[in-house]
Structure 1
Amino acid sequence: MRDHPDAVDRAAAAWVVRLDATPDDAALLDAIDRWCAEDPRHPGALLRARAVWSSVDARDVARERPALVTRRRALVAGGVAAAAAAAVGALWLGAPGDTGFRTSVGERRIARLEDGSTIVLNTATAARVRLTAEERAIALDDGEAWFAVAHDRARPFVVSAGDVRVRAVGTAFAVRRYVGRTEVTVTEGRVRVWSVAAPERFVTLDAGKHAVVADRTGTAETIVSDTRPDVTLAWRKGELVLDGMTLGDAAAEFNRYNTRQLSVEAPLADRRIVGWFRTDDIDGFARSAAAMTGARIERDGRYLRVVE
Structure 2
Amino acid sequence: MRDHPDAIDVAAARWVARLDRAPDDANLAGEIDRWCAEHPRHAGALLRARAVWSGLDAADARIVARPLFSRRRVLTVSGGLAVAAAAVGLIWLETHSSLGIETAVGERRLAKLEDGSTIVLNTASRTRVRMTPEQRSVALDDGEAWFAVAKDYARPFVVSAGDVRVRAVGTAFAVRRYLGRAEVTVTEGRVRVWSVAAPERFVMLSAGKQASVADVSGTAETVVANAKPADSLAWRQGEIILDGMTFGDAAAEFNRYSTRQLSVDTQLADRRIVGWFRTDDLDGFARAAAIMTGAKIERDGTDLRIVK
Structure 1 length-normalised TM: 0.78
- Pair 1:127 & 2:127 matched: yes
Let me know the Cα RMSD of the aligned residues: 3.4
Aligned to 2:270: 270
Structure-2 change in CA distance of 1:254 and 1:12 (3 Å)? farther
Aligned to 1:114: 114
Contact 1:101–1:127 at 8 Å: present in 2 too?
A: yes
Structure-2 change in CA distance of 1:132 and 1:295 (3 Å)? same
Shift, 1:259, TM fit:
1.2
DSSP 3-state at the match of 1:133: coil
Whichever structure has more helix as a proportion of its residues is 1
Aligned to 2:164: 164
Structure-2 change in CA distance of 1:176 and 1:128 (3 Å)? same
Rounded to whole Å, the distance in 1 between the matches of 2:142 and 2:34 is: 31
DSSP 3-state at the match of 1:291: helix
Shift, 1:168, TM fit:
0.1
Per-residue CA shift, 1:198-251, capped at 9, x if unaligned?
000000000000000011100001010111111110000000000000000000
Contact 1:259–1:302 at 8 Å: present in 2 too?
A: no
Per-residue CA shift, 1:277-300, capped at 9, x if unaligned?
000000000011110111000011
Percent identity over the alignment is 65
Aligned partner letter, 2:187? T
Alignment counterpart, residue 18 of structure 1, candidates 24, 36, 55: 36
Rounded to whole Å, the distance in 2 between the matches of 1:221 and 1:12 is: 48
Alignment counterpart, residue 48 of structure 2, candidates 48, 53, 62: 53
Rounded to whole Å, the distance in 2 between the matches of 1:147 and 1:259 is: 26
Shift, 1:97, TM fit:
1.8
DSSP 3-state at the match of 1:267: coil
Aligned partner letter, 2:217? T
Contact 1:190–1:204 at 8 Å: present in 2 too?
A: yes
Aligned to 2:21: 5
Per-residue CA shift, 1:13-33, capped at 9, x if unaligned?
96699379624x8xx9xxxxx
DSSP 3-state at the match of 2:250: helix
DSSP 3-state at the match of 2:283: helix
DSSP 3-state at the match of 2:124: coil
Shift, 1:162, TM fit:
0.3
Equivalenced residues, count: 267
Structure-2 change in CA distance of 1:156 and 1:222 (3 Å)? same
Shift, 1:11, TM fit:
4.5
Shift, 1:274, TM fit:
0.4
DSSP 3-state at the match of 1:259: coil
Rounded to whole Å, the distance in 2 between the matches of 1:133 and 1:279 is: 38
- Pair 1:248 & 2:266 matched: no
Shift, 1:254, TM fit:
0.3
Structure 2 length-normalised TM: 0.78
Contact 1:209–1:224 at 8 Å: present in 2 too?
A: yes
- Return 5+ residue gaps in structure 2 as ranges: 1-17, 63-75
Aligned to 2:204: 204
- Return 5+ residue gaps in structure 1 as ranges: 29-48, 57-70
Rounded to whole Å, the distance in 2 between the matches of 1:258 and 1:16 is: 43
DSSP 3-state at the match of 2:252: helix
**Consecutive aligned runs of 4 or more in structure 1 exceeding 6 Å deviation:** none
Per-residue CA shift, 1:150-197, capped at 9, x if unaligned?
100000000000000000000000000002111000000000000000
